[in-house]
Structure formats: C-alpha cells, structure tokens
Chain A
Amino acid sequence: EIVLTQSPGTLSLSPGERATLSCRASQSVSSSYLAWYQQKPGQAPRLLIYGASSRATGIPDRFSGSGSGTDFTLTISRLEPEDFAVYYCQQYGSSQFTFGPGTKVDIK
C-alpha cells in the first residue's frame, strides 16, 4: 500500500501570501493518479487538482499542482480568505486509493 505523507502539518500564513504544500509518497505514483482536495469545516471535500497538475472545473487559477514520482506540490499563489482550510492529497495505484493526513492552512 502506498503511504502519503503531507507537510507541514499546519501552515500559518496571511491573506495574499503564497502557500506551498507538500505530498510525498512511499513509492512512485503515476502523475495521472495524484489529486488534491480542499475541505472546510462542516463541508464535504472539494476536488481541486487531478492528474497532479490539472485544475478541476471551476477552480481558480491561483491553485496549481506539480510534481512527479514521489514528490508532489500544491501551490496557492495568493491566499484569499476563503482558502483557509485543510488540504489532502490522494493517490490511486494497484486498485487502491489512499489519502494523505492533510495540511491545515490557517490564518496567521
């Protein structure tokens, strides 16, 4: 089973700043099968990025994904007030999905 590790656990930033979130896999992940989600309190997760770098429908272009192999990154270029939330990476491989433990982006 592929294990995903996310860092940092919490990221404290101010609106307008750039956020860089990391997702590391225990073994190589096909870029096609790496996704990122945003979850706000009391809400279901929302898909942001699929295929490591493709934005889902309706996702603002301040969100971008990159990476390959075992190292992937979600970047939020300029944080808006509504971006403070928890972010999860997720991979698919060998008929199994796994989620990372999440990174909380909170207001500094």
Chain B
Amino acid sequence: EVQLVQSGAEVKKPGESLKISCKGSGYSFTSYWIGWVRQMPGKGLEWMGIIYPGDSDTRYSPSFQGQVTISADKSISTAYLQWSSLKASDTAMYYCARLDDFWSGFIYWGQGTLVTVSS
C-alpha cells in the first residue's frame, strides 16, 4: 500500500527555521516525483514545487522560488520542505503528494502538516 506520512504539526516564531518531512512507503521512492502544496487557512490549493528523489531534480513555482527549499533523502525515502526564516504568512497546511506522471495528477497525498507561525 502506497503511503505518504508527514511530520507533525509545528508552532514556530517569525524568523525561525523549519524543516518538515514526508516519508514514502509501499513503492519505489526514487521512481516518482513528490510535490508540495500549500493551503492557507480557508483558502485554496497552491502548488509549491516538485522533486524527483532519484536524481534530486527540483522545480519550483515562481511564487515560492527562493522562499523555500525542497529536498529529498532517498536513503530513508523522505522528502523535505524547509524554510530558513519563517513569516506569519507561512501559516498554512502543507501537503506532500506523489505524481505518477505529469499527466496523471497527484494520486497519493500525505495527511498534511499544519505550520503555525506566531509571535
């Protein structure tokens, strides 16, 4: 069974750094793209970027380029989303999702990680 299990909720202060994770299981982690999607409170879905764990090829949405870093450690089948300096506007639910092919849509989703940034 394919599963994406995300790390738990985080509460941080503005200016702090953060790295959240998404662990894949039940499939060959290096063979499928993993994407990250933001959902701000009460708002819609925003695509942030994707990574191919097999070779770490990474692509970002222009809206998030330079604001976050996406990485992966294929030895432990885990993808990451990190911030070097959080802002209150980063408060959101963050989902990871597996992309089988660019035409297939995001089939498998993690449960989401809620990040709250507040002073």
Binding site for B on A (CB under 8 A): 1, 32-33, 35, 37, 39, 44-47, 49-51, 56-57, 86, 88, 90, 92, 95-102
Contacts and interface: CB of A to CB of B under 8 A. Distances in A.
A97 B47 contact: yes
Contacts of B50: 97
Contacts, number: 64
Nearest to A100: B44
Given A1-B62, A45-B109, A47-B106, A97 B35 contact: yes
Query: Main SS of the interface on chain B?
Result: strand
A44 B112 contact: yes
Interface of B: 35, 37, 44-47, 50, 59, 61-62, 95, 97, 102-107, 109-112
Given A92-B102, A97-B61, A45 B107 contact: no
A88 B110 CA distance: 17
Contact of B104 (A39, A50, A100): A50
Contacts of B62: 1, 96
B61 A47 contact: no
Contacts of A56: 105, 107
B47 A33 contact: no
A37 B110 CA distance: 15
A99 to B, nearest CB: 4
